[in-house]
Amino acid sequence: MIVMKFGGSSVANKKQIEKVLAIVRGRAAKAPLVVSSAHKGMTDALLAGAREATRGVYAPERVIERQAAIARELGCDDALLAPFFDEIAALYKGLSLVRELSPRSLDYAASFGERLAVRVIADYFTREGLPAQAFDVWDLGFVTDATFGAARPLPGYEERMKRAVKERVPEGVIPIVTGFVGRTEAGEITTVGRNGSDLTATLVGAALEAEEVEIWSDTDGVMTADPGVVPQARSIPEMRFDEAAELAYFGSRVLHPSTLVPAIEKKIPVRVLNTNRPEHPGTVIREATSPGELPATSIAYRGGQLAVTLCSTRMLGAAGFLGEAFQALGRHEVVVDMIATSEVNVSFTTDCKAPLDRALPELEKLGDVRVEAGKTLMVVVGRRLAEQPGLGAAILQAVADAGVNVEMVSYGMKSISLTMLVADKDVGAAAAVLHERLFERA
């Protein structure tokens, strides 16, 4: 069997859902399990409505009408979603009374997007001659911890899912399953994180030992750069798990950063495909690939970085200084993305402003601290980076030729990535020149 995940843009409206129906119908012989995101924009609308309710603006009809319009377009009976609409209205009424939005309430509000989408999609598929049934993922054994906003399935969920799918999914029926959400043993609804339907798909694929996980979006697979920044970007036919994981972490817009972990553990290939161009082969991500001709695989970037420099002569020949600094960061849960050190200073980046603000008083006891905002991490990823003499120098020269100053560099021994810190405003210029040198001259 295979797991097929469709993103919000793929199920945005009837026109897109018709494309999804044709794609799933064409794979019916592979016993697909379909994981669906919410319709494009629905999760944001649900959360906006919840936040408005806490400010005393009770207007559930806005989000209800948005979903109802899609259901009507698909020809669904009004009764199909009526109980969920009543539940949304009741939730917003409660929020408007208590004027408080907890992480638990946020997850509850956000969950409706997927729960509504799978029901209209399954109903439409069935009326179009492809028998389907909607499932909340927890009804198939996906029970999570209570980490609202970043929940993970409890140990042993794999066996629970195998049993539940066997017992609850009728033969010949395609399950349409909610992505992004989960539920605790106590029955509280959780989410695995924004854009987490990809992660749901690979967790489900790992549990069911799927032949492959397909991630369907609106791009031709993983690209050599962000097409919005570099129009000449092109699709990458295949890549290794470690390359894709690095790109996802550093800002690739195609995959959620945690998506590949379950697939890596079970060695299940992940294929990234385009709903609007299903004939395109996309990108397959797996443990081993054929040797590539190009020295690099892709360019990605991650904005919103704060660059922190801690300077102190206490570092000279002293053991334990860095330990003190990073213990302080750890106590305040500061996530460090990049680090560079010299004899008298340590520089690092983070995108966690509130935790950093809490840690600064402790860091200032160790030395002089400078914090600069408006920075971006730009990374070049490639399995052959460490094998090409002079490639690192060529990458830095290309950025210099773009008139961009590199403020920090990180390049580990035998690393598959070279990371540079640049100003936010320089991302477009640096990415364009790097792409031209690494991919367009080959």
Known binder of ligand: residue 289? no
Known binder of ligand: residue 8? yes
28-32 LR contacts (CB < 8 Å, sep 24+): 28/130, 28/174, 30/1, 30/2, 30/211, 31/1, 31/2, 32/1, 32/2, 32/3, 32/4, 32/174
Known binder of ligand: residue 114? yes
* CA-closest candidate to residue 368, choices 347, 338, 337: 347
E strand or H helix at 368, and its extent?
strand 368-381
Contact, 110 vs 129, CB < 8 A?
A: no
- Residues with Cβ < 8 Å from 420, sequence gap 6 or more? 377, 378, 379, 395, 396, 399, 406, 408, 409, 410, 430
Known binder of ligand: residue 321? no
Return the amino acid letter for 313. Answer: T
Return the amino acid letter for 411. Answer: Y
* Residues facing 341 on adjacent strands: 346
Sheet holding 174-178, edge to edge: 132-135, 174-178, 33-36, 2-6, 212-217, 270-274, 283-286, 238-240
Known binder of ligand: residue 40? no
Known binder of ligand: residue 251? no
Tokens 């020269």 sit at which residue? 397
| Token pair belonging to 284 | 């397959």
Q: How far apart are CA 101 and CA 109, in angstroms?
A: 10
- Residues annotated as binding site? 5-8, 43, 114
- Residues annotated as binding site for substrate? 43, 114
- Residues annotated as binding site for ATP? 5-8
